[in-house]
Structure 1
């Protein structure tokens, strides 16, 4: 008899646990309205273009964005990626001194043709100064020295670039040197197995990926266009100042642009070749503080500095004419949904809020965005602020391929501290749930 009773009790507990598990399965249902916000086809006087939300990676507009093109100095964004990865891995830091090698000493070259700093072999500069010089003054010697410093000792500079490109899945891109020089102009960095006219290539989308990854790793890039002069120190007792691209922009370009929406340029990198024409990978901010990564290539002649900036303004204006953003704020309930069923809690419900802010772009006139909400939660967390679910917005759109899934989702966290249910309370709540 005792054995029979024990068996019945064990079976009942097993059944309770099994059915409770079924009841707590994270089935989802659509809450609100689904939307479609596919990238628009950009109409711009440039052969290639793309516009991307700088923080989320949502693609908003594009034109021939998959075509491989010569990228010249924009190559320095891949060099920056390699440096940032090594800093992340703590192989060195921003203050680490980098020695200028005889190969990366370009001080004898014409500065108008091959931008460089006034530094010579044997001198040592911190990573931070060389990194800033790449972006603010397009210094070729800085890029070459940094790439040599960041690469593995057993590999060539070209192999390091190819390895970094492979990490980002920049399929089809080609890399010869860290400065973006045509192979025959790369001096000691010329790849002997390649033709003299070989050049680094990538697509507009791949350039946007590089800009996005660099910004994710180092948000300080946003401040580089605030620098009108680059200050660097070839020796401990020597200080030099070089006019930056932002300084040239203010002096020679800004006043010639038609910019009715007062868009602000924050960076990133120019680059031009005779074949590809004028090009710019830009970081642009609108009057509401929303940021865009833009790429335009084939925007006028490669010597035309104004056209590429005007094309950048034009593509952002096109996007903002057709899209508007909606935001979900951190710490707020998700619409009217303040609680979700959780049979592990004493109350049978879990109060939830958004853990972090998210922004999505919708076509003009669409002001509400739905999402796929779990019908129940199964976590045992009692602590406030614990992440309990990642949910998808009901949005059909496009993102850069390297954007993490979590970045595209809404994160739900517990809103308060809640006591766990005892097993008999769970049984009662499960019974009530099952009878519905």
Structure 2
């Protein structure tokens, strides 16, 4: 009986351990998927600070399909800025681009003539608005001489931008098997892959470094080669643009993507009242797990935008010239004054969940190189001189999540001296030294006398 009872206790103990191990995982899963996003991966980011408001499998490497073209856009706009490529520069169609461009409507394309010449601007518009694959390869060849060289540039730029979890094998996002035997990087069935976090980072840098991309990305419709026999109506695949079928207020970008491997993907961005959000959805599905209806990627994106705009607002947590309670001044040595006021150089602003503004507290970090062993600044001190930094932390101890590892710096401002403190002259310093000396002597005498009694 004792053995049976012992076994029963052991079994109960093991069950308890399993339960304790399972429930935290369930709680974490629930916390991570508060929006019930039906997709393999997703992320929601406030654009200015990069604060992550929601994430599902943010670091899982997944197919990105034509969201790839955000990198091609970045490299083109960079080349335009640096003068290596001109908007009115003409491209002469080669066999590779011709064959890919003629594969429509199976692949997104504007058909290009084998003997035709096209400006970089119209190829860029076709790529950005209509996701035209032939036009994208033409841009890649223009920038790098060949798509193979361009792919090397893509991977190098991803590294420079601090992306992780990525691999580019072509400029378009198509499966290599769709490239008419012209693929030069990877295997025949390879496609480009990234994580939701890396995709959001790319989108963030694209619209930050080249905001003009949104002027084209937000164009709902445009005629390619208008006025010619080759004219074709291009309708933006981003159906969340306000004037299109699933229009959403504030949406002005950015890029859709669809392949059998990647499923239904979409990198969206929307701005209202000066606050911009970036969303990424990868392999979106309906409630039954199907990914055949293009509408579902916009339905899942809408959930994230609704959550962001409905539950968060941009707040000034601490104003310019803010002084931390208990740290409004710092002691100064060798100065005409013995202390100096310190304050923030700029306000700290961040999106916070409605009603949770009071959950954030200031965190002052002083520059140790500016202080002596006694924690004093040494005169002279100039007004506006940087003394340290101020950032914010959650009162409940929870970490603020950002798109990048150094994202906390996006909610960090300089703390500076509010006034000049001149260095005291030699006579004042000498008299202070004498006073300090005799003060120390008198203190020693007092202590000795007290010791006698």
Same fold (TM over 0.5): yes
In 2, the alpha carbon distance for the partners of 1:315 and 1:138 equals: 24
Q: Which residue pairs with 1:123 in the alignment?
A: 117
Alignment partner of 1:221 is 2:213? yes
Q: Which structure 2 residues correspond to residues 307-346 of structure 1 after superposition, within 5 A?
A: 307-319=296-308, 325-328=314-317, 331-334=320-323, 340-341=329-330, 343=332
Q: Which structure 2 residues correspond to residues 127-146 of structure 1 after superposition, within 5 A?
A: 129-146=122-139
Q: Which residue pairs with 2:18 in the alignment?
A: none
For residue 143 of structure 1, report the CA deviation from its aligned partner: 2.2
Aligned length: 383
Q: Is the 8 A contact 1:343 1:421 kept in 2?
A: no
Q: Which residue pairs with 2:24 in the alignment?
A: none
Q: 1:274 aligns with which of 249, 253, 260?
A: 260
Alignment partner of 1:292 is 2:277? yes
Task: Please give the root-mean-square deviation of Cα atoms over the aligned residues, in Å.
Answer: 4.2
Structure 1 alignment gaps of length 5 or more: 1-38, 256-261
Distance 1:249 1:274, change over 3 A: farther
Q: Is the 8 A contact 1:84 1:217 kept in 2?
A: no
Q: Which residue pairs with 2:393 in the alignment?
A: 394
For residue 398 of structure 1, report the CA deviation from its aligned partner: 1.5
For residue 220 of structure 1, report the CA deviation from its aligned partner: 2.5
Q: Which residue pairs with 1:410 in the alignment?
A: 413
In 1, the alpha carbon distance for the partners of 2:389 and 2:135 equals: 42
Q: Pick which of 399-408 and 68-77 moved more.
A: 399-408
For residue 359 of structure 1, report the CA deviation from its aligned partner: 1.4
Distance 1:215 1:250, change over 3 A: closer
Q: 1:164 aligns with which of 157, 165, 168?
A: 157
Larger radius of gyration: 2
Q: Is the 8 A contact 2:263 2:291 kept in 1?
A: yes
In 2, the alpha carbon distance for the partners of 1:312 and 1:117 equals: 27
Secondary structure, counterpart of 2:258 in structure 1: coil
Q: Which structure 2 residues correspond to residues 24-423 of structure 1 after superposition, within 5 A?
A: 40-42=32-34, 43-86=36-79, 90-92=82-84, 95=87, 97=89, 99-102=91-94, 103-105=96-98, 108-117=101-110, 119-120=112-113, 123-126=117-120, 129-151=122-144, 156-187=149-180, 189-191=182-184, 194-195=187-188, 197-230=189-222, 242-245=234-237, 249=241, 253-254=245-246, 263-286=249-272, 288-300=273-285, 301-319=290-308, 325-328=314-317, 331-334=320-323, 340-341=329-330, 343=332, 347=337, 348-350=339-341, 352-355=343-346, 358-361=349-352, 364-374=355-365, 382=382, 388-395=387-394, 396-401=399-404, 406-413=409-416, 418=420, 420-422=422-424
Distance 1:86 1:134, change over 3 A: same
Q: Is the 8 A contact 1:253 1:305 kept in 2?
A: no
In 1, the alpha carbon distance for the partners of 2:309 and 2:265 equals: 22
Q: Is the 8 A contact 1:177 1:186 kept in 2?
A: no
Higher relative contact order (CA 8 A, sep 6+): 1
For residue 59 of structure 1, report the CA deviation from its aligned partner: 1.2
Secondary structure, counterpart of 1:394 in structure 2: strand
For residue 282 of structure 1, report the CA deviation from its aligned partner: 0.7
Secondary structure, counterpart of 2:184 in structure 1: coil
Q: Is the 8 A contact 2:141 2:147 kept in 1?
A: no
Using the size of structure 2 for normalisation, the TM-score is 0.69
Distance 1:218 1:265, change over 3 A: same
Q: Pick which of 130-139 and 392-401 moved more.
A: 130-139
In 2, the alpha carbon distance for the partners of 1:118 and 1:76 equals: 18
Q: Is the 8 A contact 1:326 1:362 kept in 2?
A: no
For residue 227 of structure 1, report the CA deviation from its aligned partner: 1.9
Q: Is the 8 A contact 1:332 1:353 kept in 2?
A: yes
Distance 1:63 1:363, change over 3 A: farther
For residue 54 of structure 1, report the CA deviation from its aligned partner: 1.3
Distance 1:321 1:168, change over 3 A: same
In 2, the alpha carbon distance for the partners of 1:63 and 1:157 equals: 31
Structure 2 alignment gaps of length 5 or more: 1-30, 371-376, 440-453
For residue 314 of structure 1, report the CA deviation from its aligned partner: 1.0
For residue 75 of structure 1, report the CA deviation from its aligned partner: 0.7
For residue 311 of structure 1, report the CA deviation from its aligned partner: 0.6
For residue 165 of structure 1, report the CA deviation from its aligned partner: 2.6
Q: Which residue pairs with 1:4 in the alignment?
A: none
